[in-house]
Homo-oligomer: A and B are copies of this chain.
């Protein structure tokens, strides 16, 4: 049985060699015990535990096409449009259960993209990347790995190509070639689950040109490899995680689960040949980048919808606590939140049900619709969050700290004056307010808003793809035909 539990996952992390992690100016010696990191590990652990739950195991698992084993869906190569839809459903469930980013999608999306691309490269060039990669997937399935799909380079001056940068290291590239592999240097930014992963699967960040062969590298590296340094991102309200009160860490908003971000430095890391899946075949770069992006843009039509459900639930709860749940404008705003959220879900499902089989045998989403999906994700969560702020009232940003509850004298005052409708515990009202703060301005807002904006590509990246796939010539023909324009 290859399905780990959350606990087994955490145990497996302990078996990694020591990671070099810097946070707030200090080296983190024990990431698993660090409360800030731990919350984000909890989110990942959910992806293991729900695979064992009676309610969700069907959604969370699949049958390996390589071994026939029952595996976690996060390691799965999609075999049908139903698989693609189940992926989205699974992501929604996990977003609902964690209220944040659970970090494991990017690996699943990278697996599927590299799988189909290596097949196509081999087909053209007679290389053996695909077989190598199947061996890699086998390990991933059997070890139930968390894989950090690693794409975004720091990029330096964005008006320049990789090879034109003053310091080429702002794009990962091969700096040395050995008989048994290559040595790479560079960095990957915005790596959400990096320190909670077993593996990094590196991909080029954009379509490289022929002259940029050294930048055209796709390979796998263990998270504890020699030469990697992690810089933990400083995020909104991150220190809240440290200040537990007697009531539990209410001020956190979401005491159990969290996200995170890392800058990962690859300082002359060696990669053995069997872990290289593309090396210089620049004409396949755009295929890899676009298919990975498409899978990952689909993902946002699931995970963010799940978190959106939490925002809607928080809105309905605070409305209830405030005694306004029957006001017509409140009900209308809740309806609007649901409407927007389900529109995102519709986009996630649509690019899935319109997916198609690839030459390699797995299923790829409809690329145009996946880009449309993500483009909406760069908009609607902001409006959903705005509506939540509207319904919440201002107290979620003016509320005193839960630490005031530890002093019986101040607690009495807080409980008296922050009371809502009769029958609702004032502390519960504070808890939901802090969750709202967390989701709209705090730690989870980073994932729900900024990541919705830039994760899986910034808005303009989707617009370029939509423009490219729009097939305007075909549409012009429709218009000309109806207007009886002939002879062109």
Contact = CB atoms under 8 A, between A and B. Distances in A.
26 contacts: A25-B245, A25-B406, A156-B421, A170-B417, A189-B398, A231-B413, A234-B400, A236-B236, A236-B397, A237-B237, A253-B483, A263-B418, A310-B482, A313-B476, A331-B467, A334-B467, A335-B467, A346-B369, A346-B373, A348-B350, A352-B353, A382-B386, A428-B485, A428-B488, A435-B479, A441-B441
Contacts of A379: 386
A345 interface: yes
Interface size bucket, A side? 35 or more
Nearest to A391: B458
Interface stretch (A54-62, A119-127, A213-221, A316-324): A316-324
A208 to B, nearest CB: 19
A373 B353 CA distance: 16
B313 A478 contact: yes
Contacts of A372: 339, 342-343, 346
Interface stretch (A63-71, A105-113, A448-456): A448-456
Contact of A338 (B23, B253, B470): B470
Given A234-B400, A394-B454, A475 B316 contact: yes
A16 interface: no
A183 B313 CA distance: 41
Interface string A338-359: 1100110111111111100000
Contact of A231 (B235, B239, B414, B472): B414
Q: Interface centre among A229, A446, A450, by most B CB within 10 Å?
A: A450
Contact of A467 (B317, B338, B476): B338
Interface string A444-469: 01100111011100111001001100
A290 to B, nearest CB: 16
Contacts of A222: none
Contacts of A314: 479, 483
Given A25-B406, A372-B339, A437 B394 contact: no
A422 B157 CA distance: 7
Nearest to A444: B482
A437 B477 contact: no
A375 B339 contact: yes
Q: Kindly list the 9 A-B residue pairs having the minimum CB-CB distance in the complex, ordered from nearest.
A: A25-B403, A313-B475, A346-B350, A313-B479, A353-B353, A261-B398, A394-B454, A159-B323, A328-B328
A433 B289 CA distance: 27
Contacts of A413: 229, 231, 265
A245 B237 CA distance: 17
A344 to B, nearest CB: 10
The quantity of this chain's copies bound in the complex is 4
A393 B467 contact: no
A475 B313 CA distance: 4
A76 to B, nearest CB: 19
A99 B154 CA distance: 28
Contacts of A410: 22, 25, 231
Contact of A431 (B190, B347, B484): B484
A203 interface: no
Nearest to A372: B342
B398 A466 contact: no
A220 to B, nearest CB: 22
A262 interface: yes
A264 to B, nearest CB: 10
